[in-house]
Structure 1
Amino acid sequence: MQKKNGLPTSRVIYPSDKLSEQFIKESECTATKTFDTESYRILAELSQAIMFEWEIVNDHISVSDNWSLVFGNKPPIGNFSGNIDRIFSIDPKTKNVFTEYVNRTKKIKKVGPQHYEKFELHLLTKNNEYIWFQVRLLLRCDENESPERVFGMMTDINMQKKEYESLLHEARHDVLTNLYNKATTQRLIAHYLRHSRLKDKRQVLFVIDIDNFKDINDLFGHLFGDSVIVDIAHSIKLVFNKTDIVGRIGGDEFMALCKNCSEDLFIRKSHELLAALSKTYTHQARSIKISASIGAVISPDYGTRFEDLFRKADKALYYIKASGKNNYCLYDNDLSVPQYVNKREFLLTGNSEKNKKFFHENVVEYIFKILHRSTDATAATNLILEIISNRYKISRAFIIEKNSDGNYSNTFEWCSDKSASKKSSHQDIPKGTAEKFFSCLNEDGIFGCADVKLLPAEMQIHFKDSDIHAILECAVFSEGNIRAMIGFEYHTHPREWKSEEIESLSFTAEILGTFLIQKRTLDKMKHSHMQTLEILDHIESFIYVIDTQNYEILFLNKSAAEFFGTKQLGKKCYNIIAGEEAPCSFCPIKLLDESTDSAQKVIYLEKRDLWLRAAISKIHWSADREVCMVHCHDITALKKKK
């Protein structure tokens, strides 16, 4: 395996595969050339491939020693063609091209020029798990050019296959909802309409628009709106079958092709959609009700081209939107829609995926958008953990932060439906336990383990009786010290973390970590500010803050506010405090200069008949303001006694 940042990553190109490919092709160039089986064996071992040989005449098979490491017991030698299904447990969901090859080879009388084949098989291993293998087969003939034996090489390409399928999924799906994206929805529907045999079948194209969704964004914010879109997408998907094509084509617009759909079925599904999408969302004691408007058209009754059907379904939708919303309409030629304008022409032309970014770039961009928009740090963090976990099939994502005692606590957590929460049991984790894993971090602060059973014994003990099979943890640093750990667990089986997964998950952790450190610092400042205000408010004397340039009151403690008035901020101190129309001649501010930062003075407010002992000092307020704090004790009673 290659390594990146000290962690194993998947390989896309296997040099040994290229060597074996070249070797086999060179061997097939000359049918009469003697095949060097020893070289073939060595080459197979170098490529970590499994080698087998089928003797066609006596129907015997022999396999290399590494067969048992992957598939268990070696197969019986005789009656190979009769035992194929037991020797090669091919996934029944895939085409059995290997059995077809064997049956075809047994019928060959003479070996032609094309005696090398290559294909992929999804085979069951001894761990009861299906793995993708690339199989190369070279047919050798005897001196009479009759088929004699087949040499086979099987190479594990499971990681390559998964990586390809992952990239394909990412390119085709909407980042937020995991439905097909706009371009893919159009392409799949157009392809189905063009290539499927639809003579005796009817399809219905649905265009769904969410009513009042803009109000949710405007009132509750885009972050809350995104969570609503996710909920809506889930509700829409549940109405349709797995074989139907469902996608998101805009902010709050969706499209679906219901296959083999009668008019009665259309009516039933439309009612299901209206019921599922009639919802009320409440946030911060305010509520908004949404609903759905649905336009649809039947194919082939009104066409088989996507462009034509989309315009007609959109026209039906426009009719519903203009007629009061929260309803459905099935297009027909008599449908009268005044002033209809198709505002979605961009769907019908061009290729929106032409410059599409890779998925992890979209996720990073979306995370930045969430954090930028959010006013609720907790909701934003939880949403980010949910999005990244769903995309990478994470079972549990969590954040452990260092607390004031030096121990660690689980502050944020997201769990899949099949995983149990551990947040309550992961509070006040001893420093020694949490930091035991720090020694495993690489230079980038990342620790990844594909199988926790391979960890040292002293670390394995922490996973005893746990459902964790694989884990990836990323440290959050502040001033060179680890402040938090952001972790991702996988609970189904051991899992090799791919380079793209590590990159996206670790970068997400870095963004979240920076965000959380700033949040904690701000929280600490707010807490300190509140404590300061509470202390000042419990002081019975008057405390106020004045701009020395224009005499504006910037702050009053509780005692001063109650005595002089609660709405005096921004007003002149000589008006409010002394009751004068101009700056007081006895103003204590005049005692401060470049060399004097604090002073004391006894002052008499004639219009209030009030004696005060005033202590004044310069304080930092902002870079562009010269500010002082005045602390006054009422000494009127003492003065009058004298």
Structure 2
Amino acid sequence: MSNEQLSVLEKKIERYGTILETTGDIIFDYHIDEDRMLFDEARLEKGQYVHYTLAVDRYTEALHLGNLVHPDDIEETIRLINGLTVQAIVIRVTRPDETDGRYHWTLVRAATVQNSEGRVTETVGIMRDIDDQKRREDRLVEESRCDQLTGLYDQKWTRIKIGEALEANNEMDKGILMLIDIDGFRAVNENLGHIFGDAVLVETAEKLTAHAAPGDVIGRIGGDEFLVYSPGVAENQIAGRVARIRRIFDHTFEGKSQAYRISCSLGVAACPKDGTTFETLFHCADQALSMAKMEGRDRWCRYDEKMSGMSYLNGHATNIDTAIFQKSGISAENRVLINIFEILADSKDFTSSMLLILGMIGRFIGVERVCIFEQEQEGKELVNQYSWYSGTAVRPKTERVGEEAHAYYKTFFDENGLYALGSVDNFPARERAFFRERGICSGLYKTLVENGRFLGCIGLSGSRNNRVWSESEKEFVSLVAKIISVNLYKAKLQTENAYESQVARAIVDSQSIKSHVIDPKTHELLFVSASLKAERPNARVGSL
């Protein structure tokens, strides 16, 4: 090399060195045969760059014994500096000028140097601190995995994170999976408003997070459904852990006319006793939750083999094992029917009770949507008056079935007013597209009739295609339809009678008629016209 060429090379090296100084990157030079690492970092001090160098002998040993590189990144680092892997990696390293031992995400680029024999003897490269950028990216990724309302993991990432936690466990590590559904949330949401309902969910999520133990994975997997995995919980600790969770959900909210209480039903499956994979544990917890719901809500159930076949979120009534009710002698279907009777008997709010009942039916049968279409007082159109949707269901854009469509669909019902739709693929293209847009692939529908009066229709529909509806499912839905028909008819009569009474009172009052109505048996005053009440202020309904 001539003196001129050497001078040009020296200037280039000086120029590249100046450029590297301004980047803040650390230059390294690893000598493979000597196992010796040299670091060179330029720092700007008082207007000029000062070079700090560090030499580490027996570098491979230092990697294993010290905390220079994160333990998970050591093997990849050794491969890089020995020229055995790609030319750029991202690892976590500590900084020699920091004493807290914090790892920084670092981009490492390397190139190999060969001797005259073509053997790699040296690796040189740069290390760039990308910690802020990497943590920013990780935060954005984490946010994309979370439910936007509560900040908890969404359904997909709850499953992934719990799966990862289970895989990281040893075979005999203990833990529990808790599937939680809020009782009474729909009444709060409908009566106090959706904004208030959202606030309840956010507050609940915050409390779950605040009470979480190290290693807990918490997710919101549906509208008012949560999933919690707690590692390290032994069998004798389950009741205490569940009790703390249930206290989070126990709250009463005051409305204008009444108070609304929420609680929770909870199903528990234990690892490794009930399973060691997410799928197995979730299936068991789902069945335990179903049992808790059927036993009356506001309680928890521990999974038992006798629950096999039950499902709260995805199960089907045809697989219910009747042995679970052996103690009480009541079948699963009858237990649900009894709960429906109890709800209707105890509730003073027909709308809230219907919403609760539809949800119970949908979860029991294993569908995503249950609706009651009620015939309007005048005309032949049907209006969706009451509906329940699971977290995966697609809410329809329309809530009304026109007269022409009603007449068309009526032809599908049999002589008992029942229509079992196994697959929408049997429909013409237009109707098939209509149903699929709403997430409906199959359904079971029953007319609502009482005292010869057509009231409407109850429909159970789901995303499961080619579903074969069993006779027991058809019988169950028919019994439910009968119960709903009776109560719907009664509610209609009460509404109509109240309206007629209001009209009659308005007519009497408008004519200034002084009239009253007395019960012939009790002699109680049942009605007092406005004109008579003005003349006799002490005349009140209910007085003798």
Please tell me the TM-score bracket, short chain as reference: 0.3 to 0.5
Report which of the two has the higher share of helix: 2
**TM-score normalised by L of structure 2:** 0.47
Whose RCO is larger (CA < 8 A, sep 6+)? 1
